[in-house]
Structure 1
Amino acid sequence: MENSPPVIWEDDKYVYVPEELFKHLPPEYLEAVEARKQQGSNILQIADNDIKGLIRLVNAIPTTASLSYIYHRLRNANFDVTTEALMEQEMLTTAFVVTYSRLFVSGNGASGVAEDQIPAHLKAVHDDLIEMRHQRYAHNGGHDTISSGVRFDFDDTEIRINLQMSLGLYVGGRDEWGELVTFLDAHMHERLQKILGRLRAKTGYEWKFPVGPGPDWVSKSN
């Protein structure tokens, strides 16, 4: 399969030229481009550790966004005493617990949150979520909120197997889960601002992170 040719593209402010095409530039342009490239390389070296921290933080931001949306769904899910409604709550609770835990037990190098940064009044709720992840959702059984078994009934002609299951959950999620979501959003924003501040101090450049209005459901989660 042949390699695709380099493509030049532009937006409202810049024209982007792939490095493969630099050799075709006039000498005076090539010299300026190489100088700017070296300048950028120097900046990246100066701020290497903070850039790595920024990348790790960016990797974690989608997790906090997902967590906020899942909690919104939990709070707004209609609940009736039906099997379907129960399974809907269990599905959303599973998603919330597993997504929350990814910020603390992830092993893929993503930037997590240190447990000692959890507000003291929410520490017990945090511990409960992590325990639920380990004992109920990452493994089958073991948590005190879920149990199953069988009962055997028999008469002269047959033995009947009766399945028994006990399932405990918070309909709509716990109120404190919303507080944890709010804390994590603020914590991630604070960490981002600190990293951008260090990058600005080290390089002399203003580092701009894309921002925009949050989705409507963020303000309606609690």
Structure 2
Amino acid sequence: MEESEELQEFIVFPEEAIRYFPLEWQKHLHALKEEGQGILESADHNLKILNRLVHAFPTMASLRYIHHRLASTKFEATMEWALENDMLILAFVTTYARLVEGGIGSGVSRGSLPAVLRPVHDHIISLRNKRYAHNVGHASITGSMEIGFQGGAFDISVNFNMSFHVGGSLDWKPLVEFLDGLMFDRLQVQLKKLKEKTGREWTFPNGPPPKWASPKQNT
């Protein structure tokens, strides 16, 4: 906002308070209310789509931030680093699944993705379902137990192998950038449709992206 612009002041009062206003004011306010309700009813379908998008924005922001943390990680040959990396991958795949499958959702399905990104989607969903959400034998994690008997006592040994991408898969970056751009484009489409249906301008809060936001939003 430029310094020359004056800040607008808004006063909010409950609808019940209208009956205490002068009759002329009451009629004017009720007319405004009926007009607004009529406009919103005419755009109900688009508002439902917009509501779904808005509910998905926090999840998309989380996905971008987690990917930023993964991409920024520096490899260390320690168990603590491996567990930290695994924790971030867990956060990434569960957040991705929540974005495309959970609750109100974003309306982003496998079919919404370009063909080149669908195998990446499948890989993430497989990780989420078979390694992190359930122990059902994902290929990236294996373990075996051996029992030996010596000197009258049983000796248990465990072999455990875990494979992972350092900082996440390189294929995840273009997927995150595509989703980021898709969400932004869908928002603009709905704002345009709402303007066409209602004859009124529709704006959405906008500002400079954080440093960790994907390059798609920085362009």
Match of 1:77 in 2: 73
Displacement of 1:173 after TM fit? 0.9
- The count of aligned residue pairs is 210
Displacement of 1:109 after TM fit? 2.6
Structure 1 segment 37-76 matched on structure 2, within 5 A: 37-76=33-72
| 1:2-22 residue CA offsets vs partner (Å, 9 max, x unmatched) | xxxxxxxxx833211211211
8 Å CA contact 2:64–2:214 kept in 1: the answer is no
Hey, what's the Cα distance between the residues in 1 that align with 2:67 and 2:214?
Answer: 11
Amino acid at match of 1:186: G
Hey, what's the Cα distance between the residues in 2 that align with 1:112 and 1:167?
Answer: 33
Amino acid at match of 1:117: S
1:100 pairs with 74, 96, 110, which one? 96
TM-score (norm 1): 0.89
| 1:124-180 residue CA offsets vs partner (Å, 9 max, x unmatched) | 111111111111111113211111221223311422222221111101111110110
Structure 1 segment 103-182 matched on structure 2, within 5 A: 103-106=99-102, 108-182=103-177
Hey, what's the Cα distance between the residues in 2 that align with 1:195 and 1:170?
Answer: 37
| 1:167-218 residue CA offsets vs partner (Å, 9 max, x unmatched) | 1110111111011010000000111111111100000000000011110111
Hey, what's the Cα distance between the residues in 1 that align with 2:42 and 2:214?
Answer: 39
8 Å CA contact 1:60–1:112 kept in 2: the answer is no
Displacement of 1:93 after TM fit? 0.3
Hey, what's the Cα distance between the residues in 1 that align with 2:65 and 2:133?
Answer: 21
Hey, what's the Cα distance between the residues in 2 that align with 1:144 and 1:48?
Answer: 46
Hey, what's the Cα distance between the residues in 1 that align with 2:64 and 2:196?
Answer: 32
Hey, what's the Cα distance between the residues in 1 that align with 2:136 and 2:75?
Answer: 25
Displacement of 1:220 after TM fit? 7.3
| Root-mean-square deviation over aligned CA pairs | 1.6
Hey, what's the Cα distance between the residues in 1 that align with 2:126 and 2:74?
Answer: 27
Hey, what's the Cα distance between the residues in 2 that align with 1:26 and 1:143?
Answer: 70
Match status 1:210 vs 2:205: yes
Hey, what's the Cα distance between the residues in 2 that align with 1:27 and 1:131?
Answer: 64
Hey, what's the Cα distance between the residues in 2 that align with 1:45 and 1:220?
Answer: 37
Displacement of 1:219 after TM fit? 4.5
TM-score (norm 2): 0.91
In structure 2, list runs of 5 or more residues that go unmatched.
1-6
8 Å CA contact 1:136–1:142 kept in 2: the answer is yes
Match of 1:87 in 2: 83
* DSSP 3-state at the match of 2:161: strand
Hey, what's the Cα distance between the residues in 1 that align with 2:86 and 2:39?
Answer: 49
Amino acid at match of 2:52: R
Displacement of 1:78 after TM fit? 2.6
Deviates more, 1:97-106 or 1:61-70: 97-106
